[in-house]
Amino acid sequence: MIHEMPHLCTILKRQKKQKLTYTGGAGTPVVGETVTGGTSTYTGIVDRVATGYIVVKTLTGTLTVGETITTALFSGTLATISDYQNSSGEYEYYWDIDKANVRCKFYRSSARIIVIAPGATIDRPLKCALPSTTTITAKTAIDYKISTTETQFDGTYSISNFVPLQGLSLRIDHFEVTLVAP
């Protein structure tokens, strides 16, 4: 069991960008502006502008079809909401904060350094212990990244391995993730 979690990290989650089609548009939305739902008051950031629709990211909730959506320079009635697909039919994603200030512990594996050829070695991988309350699972690990500003570990990392570890009570005590720098 990792008794001490002296570090802090931010857990980032991969989210799909949303396509908002509208009718009765007045003005022009601008990339980077905040779009707000008039009824729901949910917000998002304009990522792309096209004729008849805008693409948004960082939504704070679910906008409601039929409500007025506005930015500083635009107003229209929301007609549809869907996951955005680019001209190749691929979904587009962004990384958003899932949880900030998560107590964790960064460390290097205690496994030996492996010599693969004279003068060449494979370094011990960077690992991170996360509390048992994390929302990441082995199935969803690809949809998450770990970011930190801790000295010696500063950066944003992909997760290459995710292992739930049991303590003496045979319940999940913490999760160990192997981190990979992009």
Q: Where are the domains of the chain?
A: 7-13+95-180, 18-91
The answer to whether the beta carbons of residues 129 and 149 sit under 8 Å apart is: no
The two tokens of residue 8 are 């802090």
Q: What pLDDT is attached to residue 48?
A: 96
Q: What is the pLDDT of residue 167?
A: 63
Cα–Cα distance for residue pair 116/21, rounded to 1 Å: 55
CATH 3.30.70 matches 7-13+95-180:
no
pTM given for the model:
0.79
Contacts of 136-145 with C-beta under 8 Å, sequence gap 24+, read 136/11, 136/162, 136/175, 136/177, 137/162, 138/162, 138/163, 138/164, 141/177, 142/14, 143/13, 143/14, 144/11, 144/12, 144/13, 144/14, 144/98, 145/11, 145/12, 145/14, 145/95
**pLDDT value at position 7?**
95
Alpha-carbon distance of 46 to 20, in angstroms, equals 10
Contact by Cβ (8 Å): 12, 144: yes
Distance between CA atoms of residues 89 and 147, nearest Å: 30
Mean pLDDT of the chain: 89
pLDDT in tens, 139-161: 889 999 999 999 999 999 999 98
How do residues 120-130 score in pLDDT, each as one tens digit?
656 678 999 99
Mean pLDDT of all residues in 36-58? 95
1 confidence band (pLDDT: 50, 70, 90):
very low
Amino acid at 147: S
Distance CA 5, CA 105 (A): 5
